[in-house]
Amino acid sequence: MDERVPFDVFSRLCPSRGTLEHVTGRWGSLTLGALYEGGGARFNELRRRVDGVSDKMLAQTLHALERDGLVHREARPTNPPRVDYGLTPLGREVAERLLGLIDLVEGRMPEVLAARERYDGVSGETRGGR
């Protein structure tokens, strides 16, 4: 019996690679995090929370995450129409793991900034010809 995992993100043809890109890309991870923290949101609420994202990029991100089954879009027939976005159970699980990574990175930023300073100092001195 073959017990290997049927999907391999390291294979260029594996469909999991596209989903990983949607989840770990700048706007995907921030959108998932914002939806998780807020328990759902409308488009403009998301745009305000995810500082710097354009309407076009947010719309594309939401479509990709919805297609992957991570985000649920609910359009309500009100006047004006209301559209709410929330996480699916799979989206919540993914967002929880992303937020763990985000917390780790935020908590270790002093080390990251110190490493950057060391690198930039050495880089400017020894890597000047690159």
Per-residue pLDDT tens for 9-51?
999 999 999 999 999 999 999 999 999 999 999 999 999 999 9
Q: Within a domain: residue 8?
A: no
Query: What pLDDT was estimated at residue 79?
Result: 86
Q: C-alpha distances in angstroms, 78 versus 43, 59, 62, 96?
A: 16, 21, 21, 32
Q: C-alpha distances in angstroms, 80 versus 75, 76, 77, 83?
A: 11, 9, 8, 10
Query: What pLDDT was estimated at residue 122?
Result: 79
CATH code of the domain in which 54 resides: 1.10.10.10
What is the residue range of 116's domain? 16-126
Q: Within a domain: residue 26?
A: yes
Average of per-residue pLDDT across 68-79: 94
pTM of the model: 0.84
Domain count, the chain: 1
Kindly report the average pLDDT of the chain as a whole number: 91
Q: How far apart (Å, rounded) are the C-alpha atoms in residues 56 and 33?
A: 19
Q: Within a domain: residue 51?
A: yes
Q: Within a domain: residue 2?
A: no
Higher-scoring residue by pLDDT: 32, 5:
32
Q: Within a domain: residue 122?
A: yes
